[in-house]
């Protein structure tokens, strides 16, 4: 069974993004705000920084301690919102206890909302504005498209940990002509299995380790795994690779699947924002 590795897809996106930067003569600027000392968050930010600098994007990070006050973080966002050399702003999630994630994300100027989960951005996307698709669902779609063939009309199920993520991911697939619906990961395993067995394409991003097993998917299905969990210091996905790969036609591994494409898509979005200035 072929695994869908993200690096070749990411390399193509990054190459095209670098070409745009060189031809435009504009230096895109990306700012990342990181609150707290979560090791995974610091790792993800460092990966974004390295990739950004490799293709000519100006990168700045703003670090706050876990007990930082909300006002300081908001003030930082306000200052970045008016800087002409910064075209994209990311607040690395999750935020520590005491922070209202929606309130912080909404503070970002929608024009600089790089991840794409500002309320205005999501609203526009759900109304059919395809170019407003958030980064993570766009990366999921890129992996699906890399499997080749025509998926128009095929049935897809999304397993999400929130209604917002479910709605956005379903809209991403609907706009590509798929039949799609979502189910929350809080539903029983039995109810989820009913849905996954009916679908040719399974997209999961709920952060439940090895939750999707081989007996829950169709033969020759496509499983895109965007979940991340840690077991014994190892990163694992939502899909139990040992059993799913015996049934699925394609499976994106964790790690090395969705992650690299998400970073590349994010940098492409920042670059496109800089070109619209």
Q: Which CATH number is 249's domain given? A: 3.40.50.720
Q: Looking at the structure, do residues 94 and 139 belong to the same domain, yes or no?
A: no
- Asked, for residue 115, whether it belongs to a domain, the answer is no
Dihedral in degrees, nearest 10, Cα atoms 78, 83, 87, 93 = -30
pLDDT of residue 149: 79
Dihedral in degrees, nearest 10, Cα atoms 137, 160, 198, 247 = 80
Q: Cα–Cα distance between 135 and 48 in angstroms, integer?
A: 13
- Asked, for residue 84, whether it belongs to a domain, the answer is yes
- Asked, for residue 157, whether it belongs to a domain, the answer is yes
Q: Looking at the structure, do residues 159 and 74 belong to the same domain, yes or no?
A: no
Q: Looking at the structure, do residues 84 and 144 belong to the same domain, yes or no?
A: no
pLDDT of residue 1: 63
Q: Looking at the structure, do residues 94 and 140 belong to the same domain, yes or no?
A: no
Number of domains into which the chain is organized: 2
Q: Looking at the structure, do residues 144 and 93 belong to the same domain, yes or no?
A: no
**Spatial CA neighbour of 86 closest among 102, 103, 108, 118:** 108
The secondary structure of 47-66 as a DSSP string is HHHHHHHHTT-EEEEEEE-T
Residues of the chain with pLDDT under 70: 1, 277
- Asked, for residue 35, whether it belongs to a domain, the answer is yes
pLDDT of residue 108: 98
Strand 229-231 and strand 250-251: pairing? Answer: unpaired
Q: Looking at the structure, do residues 101 and 141 belong to the same domain, yes or no?
A: no
pLDDT of residue 39: 86
Evaluate the CA torsion angle 32, 41, 110, 156 in order and state its sign: positive
- Asked, for residue 15, whether it belongs to a domain, the answer is no
- Asked, for residue 159, whether it belongs to a domain, the answer is yes
Q: Looking at the structure, do residues 179 and 212 belong to the same domain, yes or no?
A: yes
Q: Looking at the structure, do residues 214 and 172 belong to the same domain, yes or no?
A: yes
**Spatial CA neighbour of 23 closest among 67, 64, 55:** 55
DSSP 132: G
- Asked, for residue 150, whether it belongs to a domain, the answer is yes
- Residue 95 burial (C-beta neighbours within 10 Å; 0-12, 13-18, 19+): buried
Q: Cα–Cα distance between 144 and 124 in angstroms, integer?
A: 23
Q: Cα–Cα distance between 141 and 118 in angstroms, integer?
A: 20
For residue 153, how many other CB atoms are within 10 A of its CB? Answer: 9
The whole-angstrom distance between residue 81's C-alpha and the CA centroid of its chain comes to 22
Q: Looking at the structure, do residues 94 and 206 belong to the same domain, yes or no?
A: no
Which domain covers residue 245, as residue numbers?
Answer: 134-259
Q: Looking at the structure, do residues 138 and 104 belong to the same domain, yes or no?
A: no
Q: Looking at the structure, do residues 50 and 141 belong to the same domain, yes or no?
A: no
Q: Kindly list the distances between the CA atom of residue 210 and the CA atoms of 31, 166, 220, 240, 262, in Å, as whole numbers in the listed order.
A: 34, 19, 19, 4, 21
pLDDT of residue 150: 79
Q: Looking at the structure, do residues 255 and 189 belong to the same domain, yes or no?
A: yes
Find the CATH number of the domain harbouring 89: 3.40.50.10860
pLDDT of residue 94: 92
Is residue 91 within a helix (H) or strand (E), and if so which, with residue range? strand 88-91
- Asked, for residue 277, whether it belongs to a domain, the answer is no
Q: Cα–Cα distance between 157 and 249 in angstroms, integer?
A: 16
Tokens of 162: 């929130």
């Amino acid at each position: 069974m072929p695994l869908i590795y993200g690096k070749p897809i990411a390399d193509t996106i990054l190459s095209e993004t670098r070409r745009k930067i060189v031809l435009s003569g504009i230096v895109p600027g990306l700012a990342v705000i990181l609150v707290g000392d979560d090791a995974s968050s610091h790792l993800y930010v460092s990966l974004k920084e390295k990739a950004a600098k490799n293709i000519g994007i100006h990168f700045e990070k703003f670090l706050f301690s876990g007990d930082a006050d909300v006002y300081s973080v908001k003030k930082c966002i306000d200052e970045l919102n008016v800087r002409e050399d910064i075209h994209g702003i990311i607040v690395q999630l999750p935020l520590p206890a005491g922070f209202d994630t929606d309130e912080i994300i909404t503070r970002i100027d929608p024009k600089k909302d790089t991840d794409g989960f500002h309320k205005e951005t999501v609203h526009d996307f759900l109304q059919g504005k395809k170019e407003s698709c958030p980064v993570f669902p766009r990366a999921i779609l890129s992996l699906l498209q890399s499997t080749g063939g025509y998926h128009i009309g095929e049935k897809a199920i999304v397993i999400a940990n929130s209604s917002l993520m479910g709605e956005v991911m379903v809209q991403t697939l609907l706009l590509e002509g798929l039949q799609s619906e979502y189910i929350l990961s809080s539903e029983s395993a039995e109810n989820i299995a009913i849905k996954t067995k009916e679908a040719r394409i399974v997209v999961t991003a709920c952060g439940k380790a090895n939750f999707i097993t081989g007996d829950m998917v169709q033969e020759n299905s496509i499983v895109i795994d965007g979940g991340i969990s840690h077991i014994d210091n190892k990163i694992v996905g939502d899909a139990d690779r040992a059993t799913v790969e015996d049934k699925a036609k394609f499976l994106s591994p964790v790690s090395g699947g969705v992650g690299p494409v998400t970073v590349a898509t994010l940098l492409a979005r920042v670059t496109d924002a800089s070109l619209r200035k």
